Amino acid sequence: MAALRLVELSTHACAVAYTEAGRVRWMKPSRTFPAFVAKGTSVAPGSIALDYFEKRTIPHVARRTCAACWVPAEVLGEQNELEIVEHAQVIPESGWGGVMSLLWIPGFVPTHGQKKDRTSPRTAMSREV
């Protein structure tokens, strides 16, 4: 899938997340994206993904919202006022379809003390589907 390859190769803070029924099913971040969103985490208010599950409608353009919708504020630290750009698409599969979101944090700069290892229990996520 092109979105997965994009985040694998990108130097930007970006990620792709797949959600079903208002919960994260899996996520693939770029090396510079500040955190994983754990499998089973409820999708935050303000995200396009949650709007779809609540209203069954999705915009055809990207939207800016607070980065804390997808990344815990404590992970963002002093950059907690940054916005995240989310572009989402419905995956229409009979009986289990969900939303694929491409996420990007323009202007995010990893801090010197910020962990590169995102496998702690707080931010870890199983990559199993």
Domain ranges, ordered by start, for the chain: 2-104
Residue 114 has pLDDT above 80, yes or no: no
C-alpha 105/C-alpha 59 separation (Å) is 19
Global pTM? 0.77
Domain covering 2-104 assigned CATH 3.30.470.20 in the classification = no
C-alpha 24/C-alpha 45 separation (Å) is 13
pLDDT tens for each residue of 49-103: 998 988 888 888 999 988 888 888 777 777 777 888 999 999 887 666 799 999 9
104 burial (CB, 10 Å; 0-12 / 13-18 / 19+) is: buried
Joined tokens for residue 74: 């404590």
Please report, as a single letter, which amino acid is at residue 70: W
Higher pLDDT, 125 or 10: 10
pLDDT tens for each residue of 7-39: 887 788 889 999 998 999 999 988 888 888 889
118 pLDDT band, cuts 50/70/90, is very low
C-alpha 87/C-alpha 49 separation (Å) is 9
